[in-house]
Every structure is written in structure tokens, then in C-alpha cells.
Amino acid sequence: MSKLVARLGIPALTVLVLAGCGSSSSTSTTATTASTSGSNSANAAITAQVPAAIKSKGTLTVAADATYAPNEFIASDGHTVIGMDADLMKALGTVMGLKVNMVNATFDSIIPGLAAGKYDIGASSFTDTKEREKTVEFVDYFSAGISFYAKSSSNPAVKTVEDLCGKTVSVEKGTTEEEEAKEQSGKCTKGGKKSVTVLVFPTQNEANLAISSGRAELGMADSPIAAYQVKQSEGGFKLVGETYGAAPYGLAIPKGTGMAQPILAALKVLITNGTYMQILTKWGVQAGAITTPAINGAKS
């Protein structure tokens, strides 16, 4: 998350509440086989790169904050983690000869969980940053910016991040958006303007509800997430201002596990054979596709 739900025609705000219930616990899991749609199969050269410790388990435990549709969210059954990142991880698992177990966890608990050995991978719209690279490795696979959105009936008069002075903005805890809003607040006061009131919530669903209830004037989220929320709100939300700060998403991996290289190799296979673009198109986020994945490609 720079760091959001079902697509079933249910009114968006209702769906947000349901998904929020699912994300309140870090114990919700979804066991999936390594199979996925398409013609993917295990690649012998890549499976040979998978560290013995992972290969012996046969399953990757992958953490995602399932409140960030369409990238990761809870399906209508109330517990299955679905979305772009879930589909991508299944496909990567196939190429590496591994099963994938998606675990729902709050966003700010994932990197500590990786460091503690609780999870093998974090696939949760993580923006790859220099600061996060101090703790984990990233395999970059997508590009996203930051967008503003608000109730359709409102006019927060925000075009750029500099216009946040004196505004109340809703963000999810641990995200780049939280960092950006708080940094801008400091710039506002330094320039003699009113600070930004930053409302921070454990999940994106709660951040969205703060906007719909009027507690916040607007929200900040990754560009594909903000666009999806607006689409699903059926006129309740609108995008405002300009998207900015395009940066890479990375799959987060504990340092020293040896998993970055096989994941990178598997991702290149999926890009070459078209599976990668098929997954992004399925979830309507193909605008963020990249052609040259990398390890630790943070811009800042």
C-alpha cells in the first residue's frame, strides 16, 4: 500500500462493512492449490531455485490485508482472500511448484510477521520503499500512484497534496498515504497554514466509512484502489484532484530466505506467457502493468 469488496453488485458501503469484519482477525486463511487458470505448470529450472526449507513445506504462507479491493479482499463466502494479488500468488506458486495459503492480516502487522517467520511472503499492495527495504526484500511487480477521493456530494477543493492544509483526510494505518499526509501536515504548519487532520484507521474499510459518514472530508489510497472504490460506490464516491507519486509495488520477502530470485524468475515467466496481463485485466488494473520486474527497485 503505497497499500483495498466484492464485485457482485452489492452496494459498495455494505460490502465494505462485511469485508471489514473479515479483516479484523489475522487468523482468516484461504488454502489454495498451486493450480490456476491458463496453461501454467511447474518450471523445473525455477523449482530448482526454491530454497530447501520452502520446498520441503510445499506451501507458501502469504499474508494480505484483505480490505484493499480489487487487489486483495474477502469473497462473498466471508473468508476466502481473493483479488489481483491472490491470483498472482497462485500463478507464481504454480510456476515454482508450490501451493499457496493466503492469510488475512492487518497491513501494519505483515512486515513484522515476515521478520518473525510467521509468513513467507507479504502480497498486499506494498509500495517498495528504501525504508521498507531495510527490513524486507521486494520483488517489484506493479506500478501505482496515490489518488484522492471523496463523497460525490462534497467539494473538498483538493487538487494536489499541497491543498490538504486545513483538511481532514482518512488513511489506513502503516501506508504510504499515512506518511504522505502527515509529512504534508508538517509542511503546512511550517508554511504558516493550518495542519492536516489525519484520521488513521486499522483497515481501509474503516477509512472509507469515515468518508461516507462525514468524519473525513476526503481519503487517500493507491490509485487502483481509489478508482475501484469509486466504481463500486455506485455514485457515492468520486475521484478528486490529481494522482501523483507513481511507485512500484513489491512482494515482500524476509531477508535471507533466498526466495527473491525464484519469485522474480517465476514472475518473468508469467509476464512472457501472458498470464500476468490476464490477471491484471481480470481485476481492471492493467494500467499498472510493468514489463521489467526487479528486486528492490524502490525510487525513494
pLDDT band at 1 (very low <50, low <70, confident <90, very high): low
Q: Which CATH class is domain 146-246?
A: alpha beta
Domain positions in the chain: 12-143+247-295, 146-246
- pLDDT, tens only, 70-85: 999 999 999 999 999 9
Q: For residue 231, what are the contacts with CB-CB under 8 A and spacing of at least 6?
A: none
> What span, in angstroms and rounded, lies between the C-alpha atoms of 288 and 112?
27
Give tens-digit pLDDT for 109-134: 999 999 999 999 999 999 999 999 99
State yes or no: pLDDT of 153 exceeds 90: yes
pLDDT greater than 70 at residue 8: no
CA distances to 149, 160, 167, 193, 264 from 184, rounded to whole Å, are 17, 11, 11, 11, 35
The full DSSP string for the chain is: -------SS--HHHHHHHHHHHHT-TT-EEEE-S--SSS----HHHHTTS-HHHHHH-EEEEEE-TEETTTEEE-TTSS-EESHHHHHHHHHHHHHT-EEEEEE--HHHHHHHHHTTS-SEE-S--B--TTGGGTEEEEEEEEEEEEEEEETT-----SSGGGGTT-EEEEETTSHHHHHHHHHHHHHHHTTSPPPEEEEESSHHHHHHHHHTTSSSEEEEEHHHHHHHHHHTTTSEEEEEEEEEEEEEEEEEETTSS-HHHHHHHHHHHHHHTHHHHHHHHTT-GGG--SS-EES----
Q: Are 248 and 143 in contact (CB under 8 A)?
A: yes
- pLDDT over 90 at 34, yes or no: no
What pLDDT band is residue 19 in, cutting at 50, 70 and 90?
very low
Fold agreement (12-143+247-295, 146-246): yes
> What is the pLDDT at residue 22?
32
Q: CB neighbours (10 Å) of residue 170? A: 29
pLDDT at 254: 97
CA pair distance 236, 225, nearest whole angstrom: 15
Query: Rounded distance, CA 259 to CA 201, Å?
Result: 32
Whether residue 12 has pLDDT greater than 60: no
Fold for the domain defined by 12-143+247-295: D-Maltodextrin-Binding Protein; domain 2 (3.40.190)
Q: What is the pLDDT of residues 191-235, one digit of tens each?
A: 999 999 999 999 999 999 999 999 999 999 999 999 999 999 999
Q: pTM here?
A: 0.82
Specify the higher pLDDT residue, 49 or 229. 49
